[in-house]
Amino acid sequence: MKISFKSSANADIQAMIVDDGASLPDAAKALDEASGGLLTEALAAERFTGKLGQQAIVVMPKSVEARRVVLIGGGKPADRKPATYERIGAELVKSQAMSGFKSLALSVDAPEHAASAAAGAKLAAYRFDTYFTKLKDDQKPNLTDFTVITEEASAAEDAFVPLDAETAGTCLARDLMNEPPNVLYPESFAARAKALEAEGLEVEILGEEKMKALGMGSLLGVGQGSIRESQLAIMKWNGGGSEDPVCLVGKGVCFDTGGISLKPGAGMEDMKGDMGGAAAVTGAMLALARRKAKANVIGLIGLVENMPDGNAIRPGDILTSASGQTIEVQNTDAEGRLVLADVLWYAQEHFKPRAIVDLATLTGAIVISLGHEHAGLFSNNDELAGAIEGAVEASGEKVWRLPLGEAYDGLLKSKFADMRNIGGRAAGSITAAQFLQRFVNKDVAWAHLDIAGVAWREGNKPASDPSWPSGFGPRLLSRMIAEKYEG
Ligand code: BES
Ligand code: MN
Ligand code: ZN
* pLDDT value at residue 45: 84
Can you tell me the distance from the alpha carbon of 451 to that of 474, in angstroms, rounded to the nearest whole number? Answer: 12
pLDDT digits (tens, 9 = 90+) for 410-445: 999 999 999 999 999 999 999 999 999 999 999 999
* pLDDT value at residue 487: 82
Distance 75 CA to ligand 2 centre (A): 43
| Residue 58 CB less than 6 A away from ligand 1 | no
51 touches 75 (CB < 8 A) = yes
One-letter amino acid for residue 214 of the chain? L
pLDDT digits (tens, 9 = 90+) for 87-115: 999 999 999 999 999 999 999 999 999 99
pLDDT digits (tens, 9 = 90+) for 305-322: 999 999 999 999 999 999
Sheet holding 13-18, edge to edge: 2-6, 145-149, 103-107, 13-18, 68-73, 55-59
Is pLDDT above 90 for 27? no
DSSP 8-state code for residue 469: B
| Residue 364 CB less than 6 A away from ligand 1 | yes
| Residue 428 CB less than 6 A away from ligand 1 | yes
Active site residue 337: yes
- Mean pLDDT confidence for 277-287: 99
For the chain, what is the largest distance between any 2 Cα atoms, rounded to a whole number of angstroms? 83
Is pLDDT above 90 for 46? no
Q: Which is the closest atom of ligand 1 to the Cα of 423?
A: 19
- Mean pLDDT confidence for 362-366: 98
The proportion of the chain whose per-residue pLDDT surpasses 70, expressed as a percent, equals 100
pLDDT digits (tens, 9 = 90+) for 9-25: 999 999 999 999 978 99
pLDDT digits (tens, 9 = 90+) for 195-237: 999 999 999 999 999 999 999 999 999 999 999 999 999 999 9
Q: Whose CA is nearest to atom 16 of ligand 1?
A: 334
HEC readout, 418-463: CEECCCCCCCHHHHHHHHHHCCCCCCCCEEEEECCCCCECCCCCCC
* pLDDT value at residue 26: 86
Distance 334 CA to ligand 1 centre (A): 6
The proportion of the chain whose per-residue pLDDT surpasses 90, expressed as a percent, equals 97
